[in-house]
């Protein structure tokens, strides 16, 4: 009996699988798209920060050149080793600095309004008296309550340093335009800091005076702790870095860079809203494409289902007809064995098996050959059949033929029966049979009928010969003998 096979996956299963794959692919696309945009924005922000660095450096360099020029002409015009209040006032009125002051050789600051303060121990005084020029940031100015950026240079009188002239800017106002950064209309926060992370100036409306940048941004939720540690690493080791913040941070990324020509550090954030808008715009296009694909996919599925329904009816009809054919074939052939000459093996097909439990459903072809020969009645027939079903004989006999047949007289369940062994070529390799199908058909009734007919014809032929002899002889009489009673 042929065992029913499992049904293969239906079109609905494949449709569900493909739809699921499309959804997964879309989520993968959005994740990759988000990561790609975040990286692009980080690199874009880093390039923007470098431009800001160049602008600040150039402004600092111009301010330093101005104070150097002032000190040169001041030194050329001095009649004595001191600078008068009137001279300071006139210079301040005609310069871009918010204030111009002079620190004499004793370390006393002199402002244009006559106020004085002690500068001994201040870095700008000690460096200036050594003949050096530079920048100095004052957080607690004795003249103002604001953070001041001072540009200083030594003043020479009679080829000797007589003091230090310095011009000062209010840091917040001076750096406001330079720190003003925006991306696609969204303002970004920028900070100029000391190497110890103290904030000098920023572009935000909040007050951050003398606060540490990394801890301040973590406290306000602008960046996460991991990013803050990376920012602190740049302050400690120098150089530059751009870091993407985690999803819960208020900013998308942050850039930290030392100014090339000074020891100050620029910290610049990138608006999270810009990145989110870019991601949404990109995902919106992806969503539209996905909807179109889903629509096309749905239309294809509908057409496929209609086609499948039509083909299903056709297949059902064909299967029904094939079932009739198979039912008829299995009535004639109760067992099917596939022989593979390349591996010298056999196996019974379609759930059929050998009559004798002593032989397995599959094994070496030699075992099957021995079994088939063993059920023949006559020893001489066994030898002939063994030669007929040998591998070499079958391959040779099937050259130019697709099937072979052998009539056997076998013993089945203690009774003598007749059967046909049919050998059908299923596959050839290099023109020679490589796989064949063995079938066995019980023809006992047909064979016995054939034998009876042959016996009856033999008797009829014998009577006919006797009659012909009688009528053609010279005997005076004829005799009619009933010979049917003799064997």
Find residue 362's DSSP bridge partners.
Answer: 347
| Residue 281, H or E segment | helix 272-332
Burial 54-72 (b: 16+ CB within 10 A, else e): eebbeebeebbebbeebbe
Q: With the CA atoms of 106, 111, 113 and 116 taken in that order, what torsion angle do they form, in degrees rounded to the nearest 10?
A: -40
Is residue 52 assigned to a domain? Answer: no
- Rounded to whole angstroms, the Cα distance separating 385 from 407 reads 9
Q: Are 346 and 339 in contact (CB under 8 A)?
A: yes
Of 171, 204, 229, the residue that ends a domain is 171
User: What φ, ψ does residue 441 adopt, rounded to 5°?
Assistant: -120, 125
For the chain, report the end-to-end CA distance as a whole number of angstroms: 45
Same domain for 166 and 194, yes or no, is: no
Same domain for 226 and 301, yes or no, is: yes
Find residue 340's DSSP bridge partners.
Answer: 345, 435
Cα–Cα separations (whole angstroms), residue 259 to 25, 44, 179, 265? 44, 18, 13, 6
Tokens of 173: 């106002």
Using DSSP bridges, classify how beta strands 333-340 and 160-170 pair: parallel, antiparallel or unpaired: unpaired
Same domain for 153 and 188, yes or no, is: no
Same domain for 314 and 195, yes or no, is: yes
CATH code of the domain covering residue 24? 3.30.450.20
Q: Are 346 and 337 in contact (CB under 8 A)?
A: yes
Tokens of 397: 């006999």
Same domain for 130 and 236, yes or no, is: no
Tokens of 176: 């406001």
Same domain for 235 and 288, yes or no, is: yes
How many residues belong to the chain?
A: 487
Radius of gyration of the chain (CA): 54
Same domain for 233 and 310, yes or no, is: yes
Cα–Cα separations (whole angstroms), residue 176 to 92, 122, 164, 185, 189? 21, 26, 27, 17, 11
Is residue 400 assigned to a domain? Answer: yes
Give the SS3 label for residue 83: coil
Query: Which domain does 131 fall in, by range?
Result: 78-171
Same domain for 145 and 199, yes or no, is: no
DSSP 8-state class, residue 420: E
- 278 Cβ partners below 8 Å, 6+ apart? 37, 41
Which pTM does this prediction carry?
0.58
CATH code of the domain covering residue 360? 3.30.450
Cα–Cα separations (whole angstroms), residue 127 to 148, 297, 411? 18, 76, 123
Q: With the CA atoms of 288, 294, 299 and 302 taken in that order, what torsion angle do they form, in degrees rounded to the nearest 10?
A: -160
Same domain for 217 and 257, yes or no, is: yes
Is residue 62 assigned to a domain? Answer: no
Same domain for 303 and 362, yes or no, is: no
- 143 Cβ partners below 8 Å, 6+ apart? 99, 101, 109, 111, 115, 117
Same domain for 161 and 123, yes or no, is: yes
Q: Tell me what pLDDT residue 487 has.
A: 46
Q: Tell me what pLDDT residue 408 has.
A: 85
- Rounded to whole angstroms, the Cα distance separating 275 from 290 reads 22
Is residue 5 assigned to a domain? Answer: no
Tokens of 336: 């099917």
- Rounded to whole angstroms, the Cα distance separating 169 from 98 reads 5
Of 323, 352, 376, the residue that ends a domain is 323
Tell me the pLDDT of the chain (487 aa) as tens digits. Answer: 444 455 556 656 766 777 787 778 777 877 787 788 888 889 999 999 999 999 999 999 999 999 999 999 999 999 899 899 999 999 999 999 999 999 999 999 999 999 999 999 899 999 999 999 999 999 877 777 788 999 999 999 999 999 999 999 999 889 989 999 888 888 899 999 999 999 999 988 777 766 889 999 999 999 999 999 999 999 999 999 999 999 899 999 999 999 988 889 999 999 988 888 887 777 777 778 777 877 887 788 788 888 888 888 888 888 888 777 766 666 667 678 889 999 999 998 867 777 776 788 889 988 888 888 888 888 888 888 888 889 888 888 888 888 888 888 888 777 888 888 889 999 999 888 999 998 888 888 888 888 888 888 888 888 778 777 777 765 555 555 555 544 4
Closest to 50 measured CA to CA, from 256, 340, 278, 355? 256
- Rounded to whole angstroms, the Cα distance separating 337 from 347 reads 5
Is residue 480 assigned to a domain? Answer: no
Domain count, the chain: 3
Is residue 334 assigned to a domain? Answer: no
Same domain for 154 and 189, yes or no, is: no
Find residue 242's DSSP bridge partners.
Answer: 255
Is residue 69 assigned to a domain? Answer: no
Find residue 265's DSSP bridge partners.
Answer: 193, 258
- Rounded to whole angstroms, the Cα distance separating 32 from 361 reads 55
Is residue 64 assigned to a domain? Answer: no
């Amino acid at each position: 009996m042929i065992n029913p096979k499992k049904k293969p996956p239906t079109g609905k299963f494949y449709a569900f699988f493909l739809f699921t794959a499309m959804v997964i692919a879309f989520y993968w696309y959005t994740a990759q798209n988000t990561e790609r945009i975040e990286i692009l924005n980080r690199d874009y922000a880093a390039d923007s920060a470098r431009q800001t660095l160049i602008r600040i450096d150039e402004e600092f360099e111009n301010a330093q050149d101005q104070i150097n020029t002032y000190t040169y002409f001041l030194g050329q015009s001095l009649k004595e080793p001191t600078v008068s209040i009137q001279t300071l006032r006139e210079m301040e009125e005609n310069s871009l600095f918010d204030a111009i002051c002079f620190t004499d050789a004793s370390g006393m600051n002199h402002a244009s309004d006559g106020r004085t303060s002690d500068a001994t121990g201040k870095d700008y005084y000690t460096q200036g008296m050594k003949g050096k020029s530079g920048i100095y940031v004052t957080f607690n100015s004795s003249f103002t309550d604001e953070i001041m950026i001072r540009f200083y240079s030594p003043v020479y009188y009679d080829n000797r340093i007589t003091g230090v002239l310095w011009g000062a800017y209010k840091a917040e106002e001076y750096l406001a335009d330079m720190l003003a950064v925006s991306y696609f209309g969204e303002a970004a926060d920028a900070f100029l800091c000391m190497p110890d992370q103290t904030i000098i100036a920023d572009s935000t409306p909040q007050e951050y005076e003398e606060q540490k940048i990394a801890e301040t941004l973590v406290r306000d939720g602008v960046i996460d702790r991991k990013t803050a540690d990376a920012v602190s690493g740049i302050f400690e080791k120098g150089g530059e870095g751009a870091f993407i913040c985690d999803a819960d941070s208020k900013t998308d990324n942050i850039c930290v860079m030392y100014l090339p020509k000074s020891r100050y550090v620029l910290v610049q954030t990138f608006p999270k809203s810009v990145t989110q808008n870019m991601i949404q715009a990109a995902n919106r296009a992806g969503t539209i494409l996905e909807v179109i694909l889903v629509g096309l996919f749905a239309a294809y599925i509908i057409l496929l289902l209609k086609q499948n329904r039509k083909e299903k009816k056709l297949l059902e009809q064909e299967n029904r007809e094939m079932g009739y054919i198979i039912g008829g074939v299995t009535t004639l052939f109760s067992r099917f064995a596939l022989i593979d000459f390349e591996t010298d093996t056999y196996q019974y097909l379609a759930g059929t098996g050998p009559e004798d439990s002593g032989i397995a459903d599959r094994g070496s072809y030699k075992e099957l050959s021995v079994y088939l020969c063993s059920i023949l009645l006559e020893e001489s027939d066994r030898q002939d059949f063994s030669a007929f079903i040998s591998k070499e004989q079958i391959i040779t006999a099937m050259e130019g033929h697709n099937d072979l047949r052998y009539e056997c007289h076998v013993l089945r369940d203690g009774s003598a029966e007749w059967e046909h062994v049919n050998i059908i070529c299923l596959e050839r390799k290099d023109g020679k049979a490589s796989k064949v199908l063995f079938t066995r058909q019980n023809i006992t009734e047909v064979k016995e009928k054939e034998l009876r007919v042959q016996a009856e014809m033999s008797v009829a032929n014998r009577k006919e010969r006797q009659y012909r002899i009688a009528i053609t002889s010279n005997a005076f009489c004829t005799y009619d003998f009933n010979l049917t009673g003799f064997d």
